[in-house]
A and B are shown apart, each in its own frame.
Chain A
């Protein structure tokens, strides 16, 4: 493709703004759309894309942290509890990605593409079938470990005009799931809101808004741990990373503003189609690389 540097910059800026907007409107993080789309439809090396994908997911999340934490929507205790397994396993995932890159060559690249393709189709299916989401889960009994962790708190719910008090439960189960989520996030360069929201909402029974806000902030913590190894291994190039980060931040802000005004149903379908397309392309690519390696 014959693009000048400035054309490349503004093309990727525009693409990232669109990805940021549709990601917010579809209720997923930017990284989960960015990484498979770039891996599926550009020839850029997957290691570079995965590092940039982590950076992109991280930047949007760090910007969102202030309003969510100032309003008490994101539960800082929940974040710290989940942040430890998530950060540790995100680093392990990033190290594993580097190991595969250095030792497995073309076969490693094929396996990464194949597994990411399968994962992305799984996530698209998860969004398609909707999953059971509970706005304000009812909790009768809290297990003793979670009780001792004192995770119950409250926030002011603007739409109801009142304070919502809530508890969570099954903290040990949540911690185990966050280990897996961190590993996937670091390995594939994805934010992991698609897995964290159901974990917090369905497994730990946090209110949906708290789960969404906490997961968004948590991505910034785990992805920071995972992005540094990519940074220091020279996998992030300013010409590619800067427009993608700026575009994703602008897209997230625009998306958040128009989300209030439009019905996001069609965007959800668009995301499912894009992710399914990217997933199939990655699987085909992975299979063909496996065949030729």
Chain B
């Protein structure tokens, strides 16, 4: 039928839905974290952080001068249990959740392509999902 709405591929629907909701959750967590940061402070001293940013200092200097850690951390530093009482660290967890959206979404798309028996596209979805996962878990790193 010319006017009948075509059914969108299930892999795309799964990817889009997962991404949308994960981003919403991430934004909410980030907002809660920032509210806590403004009320009770956080790991970063706001005054020193802002001064460092406005002075154009590089990442290492900003961390050394403004953070409670005192040096550039490694890996998923915001998942450190000792730091999770700080509002800005919770906000960073929210940011990390947002960054996970496409990773989880692409695994969902992979399942969708497998279920609809699109072999080539299942392989492509798998490749992208693996790249995103490697990037997220830190196998791909700047160091």
Contact = CB atoms under 8 A, between A and B. Distances in A.
Interface stretch (A16-24, A69-77, A119-127): A69-77
Consensus secondary structure, chain A interface:
helix
Scoring A65, A99, A240, A249 by chain B CB atoms within 10 A of each residue's CB, the highest score goes to A65
B53 A95 contact: no
Contacts of A3: 50
A203 interface: no
Consensus secondary structure, chain B interface:
helix
B54 A44 contact: yes
Interface in B1-59: 2-9, 11-13, 15-17, 19-20, 22-23, 27, 30-31, 33-34, 37-38, 42, 44, 46-47, 49-50, 53-59
B17 A66 contact: yes
Contacts of B72: 233-234
Contacts of B121: 76-77, 80-81
A175 to B, nearest CB: 11
B68 interface: no
Contacts of B34: 9, 238-239, 242-243
Contacts of A63: 19-20, 23
A84 B129 CA distance: 10
Interface in B88-135: 88-89, 91-92, 94-96, 98-99, 101-103, 105-106, 109, 113, 118, 120-121, 124-125, 127-128, 131-132, 135
Scoring B74, B88, B95, B102 by chain A CB atoms within 10 A of each residue's CB, the highest score goes to B102
Interface stretch (A28-36, A54-62, A133-141, A267-275): A54-62
Interface stretch (A152-160, A193-201, A257-265, A276-284): A152-160
Contact of B49 (A1, A62, A79, A237): A237
A84 B127 contact: yes
A132 interface: no
B19 to A, nearest CB: 4
Contact of A69 (B6, B12, B94, B135): B12
A176 B90 CA distance: 40
Contact of A225 (B59, B74, B77, B132): B132
A239 B105 CA distance: 27
Contacts of B70: none
B141 to A, nearest CB: 6
Contacts of B17: 66, 70
Contacts of A69: 8, 12-13, 15-16
B59 A233 contact: yes
Given A69-B12, A84-B124, A237 B6 contact: no
Contacts, number: 233
A238 B101 contact: no
Interface in A218-238: 220-221, 224-238
Contact of B142 (A84, A87, A94): A94
Given A88-B131, A234-B63, A242 B95 contact: yes
Scoring A74, A229, A242 by chain B CB atoms within 10 A of each residue's CB, the highest score goes to A242
A59 B103 contact: no
B84 interface: no
A232 B96 CA distance: 10
Interface of B: 2-9, 11-13, 15-17, 19-20, 22-23, 27, 30-31, 33-34, 37-38, 42, 44, 46-47, 49-50, 53-59, 62-63, 72-77, 88-89, 91-92, 94-96, 98-99, 101-103, 105-106, 109, 113, 118, 120-121, 124-125, 127-128, 131-132, 135-136, 138, 140-143
Given A45-B59, A228-B138, A239-B49, 8 more contacts: A59-B98, A62-B98, A63-B20, A70-B17, A156-B3, A217-B16, A237-B44, A240-B53
Top 7 nearest A-B pairs by Cβ distance? Answer: A98-B142, A76-B12, A69-B16, A5-B46, A69-B12, A66-B16, A238-B91
